[in-house]
Amino acid sequence: MKAADAEGGAPAALTLVSHALCPYVQRVAIVLHEKGLPFERRTIDLARKPGWFLAISPLGKTPVLQVRGESLFESAVICEYLDEVAMPALHPQDPLERARHRAWMEFGSAVLNGIGAFYAAPSEAALQERAQDLRARFVQLEEALEKRESAGPYFAGAGFSMVDAVFGPVFRYFDVMDALPGMADFALWQGLPRLARWRAALAARASVQQAVGADYAEGLRAFLLARGSALSRRMGALSA
């Protein structure tokens, strides 16, 4: 069933106002793909926000989803809207279970903040601390996966859910960052088999793959190198 079947009408022409690297944009792109909803992208440069973008994005952030003349902002809200108007449902039916999933989506946003703090860490000491913070989050995730009743491979078992749409972009950072100098020393993924399996399943999912362009890895490396951070200096030392 497509959006046209849902109460409230089809979100006919959809435009996703995007930034090429934004993980919050990616989660919306993943949900759109999972629901088979065609959409156009309008990619902006967040370093030079155009006036038309500031006029439709109250917080000046991507993503914005344009739907029938309305501009929706905040990725979680956009994802919830899409789940209400188009099948398949990516949230569980049971309200308690749905609330639990929403809480883990929020956890995913906290991990994204942790990744931002890691790549922006100004000193080696801060980088070490931020790596430990990330590692602690990953251990929490492994424990959450361990408590599941199913074997996976996704967050809630065999079916793809909204939590998966949030974590696909989280894990994608590490497809680039794992290869950076000294990353292995942080042992971020060590001894976390359920998390590794979840990450691999998300990386193989078509909706997750299509959420970024072919130049994503190159773009992310350039972005990280330009941060002026401890991680940038490690990267610069390698390419010097």
Ligand X SMILES: N[C@@H](CCC(=O)N[C@@H](CS)C(=O)NCC(=O)O)C(=O)O
Which residues form the interface with ligand X (CB under 6 A)?
19, 22-24, 46, 60-63, 74-76
Q: Which residues contact 96 (CB under 8 A, 6 or more apart)?
A: none
The answer to whether the beta carbons of residues 63 and 30 sit under 8 Å apart is: no
Nearer to ligand X, 82 or 145 (CB): 82
Cβ proximity to ligand X, 11 vs 153, nearer residue:
11
Of the candidates 216, 210, 212, the one whose C-alpha atom is nearest the C-alpha of residue 33 is 210
Report DSSP letters for 61-126, one per residue. Answer: -S-EEEETTEEEESHHHHHHHHHHHSSSP-S-SSHHHHHHHHHHHHHHHHHHHHHHHHHH-SSHHH
**Min separation Cβ 7 and ligand X, Å:** 25
Q: Which is nearer to ligand X, 45 or 94 (CB)?
A: 45
Beta-bridged to residue 67, according to DSSP, are: 14, 70
Of these residues, 20, 21, 22, 156, which one is catalytic?
22
Nearest approach in angstroms of CB 129 to ligand X is: 22
Q: If 0-12 CB within 10 Å is exposed, 13-18 middle and 19+ buried, where does residue 171 land?
A: buried
- Give least dist CB 62 to ligand X, A: 4
Q: Which is nearer to ligand X, 23 or 153 (CB)?
A: 23
Instruction: Identify the DSSP state of 161.
Output: -
22 given a catalytic annotation: yes
- Taking the complex as a whole, the smallest distance from the CB of residue 211 to ligand X amounts, in Å, to 13
Residues noted as catalytic: 22
